Amino acid sequence: MRISKIDILILAILVFASCKTTTKPVSGLTKAPEAPLTEKERLYFDNIFFNANKELMLGNTEEAAGLFALCIKQDPGNAAAMYELAKIYNQSGNKEKALDLSGKAANLDPGNTWYQLLYADCLFSQKQYLKGIEIYERIIKLNPDKIEMYFELAEGYLYANKPLEAIKVYDRVEEKIGINEEASLQKMKLYTQLKNSEKAIKELNKLIQLNPHEPKYYGMLGELYQKTGQKEKAMQAYADLKQIDPENPYVHLSLAQYYFEQKQDAKGLEEYKLAFGNRKLDIDTKIKILLVYYDLSANKPATKEDALQLCKILIDTHPDEARSYSIYGKFLFRDKKLKEARDAFRMANSRDKTRYDIWYHVLIIDSQLSDYDGMLFDSQQTIDLFPAEPLGYLFNGIAQNQKKQYQTAVAVLKEGKEFVVGNSPADSSLLTQFYATLGDVNHELKNIPASDSAYEKALVLDPKNVYVLNNYAYYLSVRKEKLDQAEAMSKKTVNMEPTSNSYLDTYGWILYQMGKYEDAKKWIEKALDAGARTNGVILEHYGDILYKLGDSDKALEYWNNARQNGGGSEFLEKKIADKKLYE
pLDDT tens track for 49-100: 999 999 989 989 999 999 999 999 999 999 999 999 999 999 999 999 999 9
Least confident of 227-231, 471-475, 579-583: 227-231
d(CA 213, CA 211): 6
Q: Is residue 549 part of a domain?
A: yes
pLDDT of amino acid 34: 59
Q: Are 376 and 366 in contact (CB under 8 A)?
A: no
User: Is 42 part of any domain?
Assistant: yes
Domain boundary among 111, 143, 175: 143
How confident is the model over 342-347, as a mean pLDDT? 97
pLDDT of residue 16: 41
Tell whether 559 is covered by a domain. Answer: yes
Residue 466 placed within a domain: no
**Is 499 contained in some domain?**
no
Question: Rounded to two decimals, what is the model's pTM?
Answer: 0.67
Residue 7 in any domain: the answer is yes
| For range 508-516, the mean pLDDT | 96
- Please compute the mean of the pLDDT values over residues 386-408 and round it to a whole number: 97
What tens digit of pLDDT does each residue of 271-310 get?
A: 999 999 999 999 999 999 999 999 998 888 889 999 999 9
Length of the chain: 583
Q: How far apart are CA 455 and CA 439, in angstroms?
A: 5
Among 121, 130, 88, which Cα is nearest to 103's? 121
3-class secondary structure, 533: coil
H-helix segments, 126-277: 129-142, 147-159, 163-177, 181-193, 197-210, 215-227, 231-244, 250-261, 265-276
Note whether residue 460 is domain-resident: no
Judge contact between 254 and 241, C-beta under 8 A: yes
R_g of the chain computed on alpha carbons: 39
Q: The domain spanning residue 34 has which CATH number?
A: 1.25.40.10
Domain total in the chain: 2
Contact in structure between 446 and 479 (CB atoms under 8 Å): no
Residue 516: partners with Cβ closer than 8 Å, 6 or more residues away: none
Predicted confidence (pLDDT) at residue 1 exceeds the cutoff of 50: no
pLDDT at 10 over 60: no
Task: With both helix axes pointing from N to C terminus, report the angle between 283-299 and 322-334 in degrees, rounded to the nearest 10.
Answer: 0
Q: Is residue 480 part of a domain?
A: no
Burial string for 518-539 (b: 16+ CB within 10 Å, else e) reads: ebbbebbebbbebebeebbbbb
Which residue range forms the structural domain that includes residue 54?
1-143
Residue at a domain's end among 143, 158, 187: 143
- Helix (H) or strand (E) holding 434, with range, is helix 425-444
Domain stop point among 98, 120, 143 = 143
CA distances in angstroms from 547 to 137, 449, 479, 480, 542, listed in the order given:
100, 33, 20, 19, 9
- Helix axes of 372-385 and 390-402: crossing angle, nearest 10 degrees: 150
